[in-house]
A and B are shown apart, each in its own frame.
Chain A
Amino acid sequence: MATKLKPVDVAVIGLGAVGGVAVLPLARAGLKVAGIEAGTWMNPRDFRPDEIHNNIRGLLTSVPKANQEVPTVRERPGAPTRRGTIHPMMNAIGGTSIHYWAQSWRLKPWDFKTRSHVEKRYGARAIPVGSTLEDWPIAYDDLEPFYDTIEHEVGVSGKAGNIQGLIDPAGNVFEAPRRREYPMPPLRGSGFTDLMMDTARQLGWKPFRPPAAINSEPYQGRPGCVFHGYCNRGGCHISAKNSTAVTTIPAAMKTKNLTIFDRAHVTRIVNGPDGRVTGVTYIRDEKEYFQPARVVLLASYTYENTRLLLLSKSKEYPKGLANNHGQVGRHYFGHYQNGVTALFPFDINVWYGTPAQAAAVDEWADDNYDHSDVGFIGGTTLQPHTEMHPIESANMNTFGRAPSWGSKWKAFIRENAGRWTSAYLQTSAFPYEETFLDLDDAVRDPLGDPVCRVTSGPKENESRAVAYGQRKMEEWFRAAGAIEVIRPTAGPPGVSTHAYGGTRMGDNFETNVVDRWGFSHEAPNLGILGASVMGTSGARNPTLTAQALAWRTAERLVANWKNL
């Protein structure tokens, strides 16, 4: 029998990138908030310049809960499933915002209204066959104030390219109007990223330094980045990376309205006979608790958001909570992230830095160029960047120039380990009828609950878009002096850090799980936060948008509190 805890106003499941920001407006408004998190506090001792720890063994990220529920993946129904051993996301106070790359891009107006824009410019036949693409119920302008809030509350460095219509070529000229400049200048360049910036300009492109939730100078009492080169899958030892663990969560704690329950494994969301949710069941130190709440905000990750809803069955929701219309798990997709690898005839010295220390090009993303003859919609952002670790560098592709071991290989890596890099490319992806999440009854976690199953096969539209972006990246690398370039074949992501959908946002309750404010169409006091509500991805990192949406949902909750 679960121990019943003192009721709270809002129970937030997960204190990561999105739950960690939502608690701040709630706590500031005086609501009593329980933050229920599977992980615990990390400290600077967990954050080491150590490739084995961070990248090879995933010791920062390999906390038990997430790794016991790594989703299975298959290409289509009936196809065999495969399963990795390490979950790409982590449980901690601050969640994956602790070890992410912190790239903090806004989406563009096109991303919110892709279907309408594509149909208008290219006709309905340009919409990818089998896709379930819908316009978002909100537009860029609806989210702009919340982007601005997150950029300042969390701290994002960058250079504006469009302030209220005034274009500045030092920033991204393709971005939509923003109300004001970023709170910090962009991260500095390196010799290599400067070379790539210069080369892009010579090609007639418009490069810029991308935005990042990393301090470029002291901000809110924390120092600027020191570029030590262990940012990817590592936490920041000086708190220059603006995870929610060092920004919004401590700010919310200061109000005394946020109580954190760490190492708490949420097992079910509970509802009453009226269909409204009543609270959350969790296990901590092998004891079961029930946390009653007037409102529940589900803020785990895309996979766990869907899984927890599907596991939370009741008389009122026999197919899982908020799933009486069969939409939970639908409209799933993930970014195609297919890097392009290049070898230079000179040392490029990308050992140090951080992946967000990059040269970015946006002209080949979204609808920034005419797609009439390319055979796909959407596109790719290109980002050559810094941060290379020694084991990674020695494990380099030999480009057919050397064997893979022995003295000749040794001579090859001695010369070339510091002369290669992979640019980061992310290509917009769309939801399809046959891309979805459900439960895999054949694979269970230690509590006996099935894990999430990803069904996601390669799609022609996205594969073409990836190939197009890769050719642009090759052009850029070659112009910068690269002597070898490899464009790997595009494949759909398996278990991804850029996973979208499953609880899509939309006005139509027959095709969407949450309404335009992020609350369930079926259980009105259940809010859902994260990229799981997003219906398109754009060609840019999801976190800033997911955080802006989370803040917006939380503000809506405060404004609408008396009507709940």
Chain B
Amino acid sequence: MNKVTRRTVIASATLAPVAAIRSAAQPTALSPAQLSLLEAIVDRLIPADDLGPGAKECGAANFIDRSLTTEKASFIEGLAAVDAQAQTKFSRAFVELSAADREAVLESSPRPFFNRVRQLTIEGTFSDPSYGGNRGYMGWDLIRYPGPRMAVKPEDQKLRDAAKPVRTSGAHGH
């Protein structure tokens, strides 16, 4: 945000850098093994490839770990079911499977859990980084979201021509 823009909004509307708003360590819902399994799942939903980092690199699993509250038990059950499916299908743990076999397990996993983990992976990849995902704004870079600006000028809203990216967190911004 340039200085001219900054002057046009009231003084309370400032953006804090992410580093300043990362609070103290948050309680985690998942065990290290569950977290590894989840990372392997989100890695298949949005893989790292020629287009750049995927959900794992963006910290989506970390976001999900921090997000689970009331649904924690059912989510852990869902993770266990994925691992059980891997055992049934390939006689190995999910994390030990090849990418193609992991995808085959996910294809056949129960839809309610799959849809939930897909939704949370999208949230974790594209949310404000203060929630633990979208690390280094890599998710926003992927979809070319220009980032929250406190004041948007007409030239930031042109057709065919996105605004220059702003990479600041808005979560505690005002």
Contact = CB atoms under 8 A, between A and B. Distances in A.
Given A192-B159, A414-B143, A417-B144, 8 more contacts: A48-B173, A52-B128, A191-B158, A226-B151, A230-B148, A237-B174, A347-B161, A418-B143
Contacts of B139: 390
Give the residue among A48, A49, A192, A346 with the most B Cβ atoms within 10 A: A49
A228 B148 contact: yes
A391 B126 contact: yes
Contact of A414 (B127, B142, B150, B154): B142
B155 to A, nearest CB: 9
A48 B170 contact: yes
Contact of A349 (B47, B106, B143, B157): B157
Contacts of B163: 349, 351-352
A156 to B, nearest CB: 21
A348 to B, nearest CB: 6
Contacts of B151: 226-228
A2 interface: no
Contact of B170 (A50, A411, A414): A50
Contacts of A194: 159
Interface stretch (A96-104, A400-408, A456-464, A550-558): A400-408
B143 A393 contact: yes
A190 B159 CA distance: 8
A319 interface: no
A121 B130 CA distance: 59
B149 A51 contact: no
B118 A405 contact: yes
A393 B142 CA distance: 12
Contacts of B174: 44-45, 47-48, 237
A49 B173 contact: yes
Given A47-B174, A390-B127, A410-B49, A228 B150 contact: yes
Contact of B131 (A44, A52, A395): A52
B156 interface: yes
Interface residues of B, number: 50
Contacts of A405: 44-46, 106, 118
Interface of B: 8-10, 12-13, 44-47, 49, 51, 54, 103, 106, 118-119, 122-123, 125-128, 130-131, 139-140, 142-146, 148-152, 154, 156-163, 170-174
A453 B151 CA distance: 42
A195 to B, nearest CB: 6
Interface in A171-198: 188, 190-192, 194-195
Contacts of B54: 410
A349 B160 contact: yes
A238 interface: yes
A390 B159 contact: no
B164 to A, nearest CB: 12
A11 B161 CA distance: 53
Nearest to B142: A414
A516 to B, nearest CB: 43
A228 B151 CA distance: 6
A352 B130 CA distance: 20
A325 B49 CA distance: 68
A229 interface: yes
Given A191-B158, A226-B8, A346-B160, A351 B145 contact: yes
A56 interface: yes
A128 interface: no
Given A191-B161, A226-B8, A228-B150, A417 B127 contact: no
A347 B143 contact: no
Contacts of A444: none
Contacts of A407: 47, 49, 51
A15 interface: no
A223 B10 contact: yes
Interface string A152-169: 000000000000000000
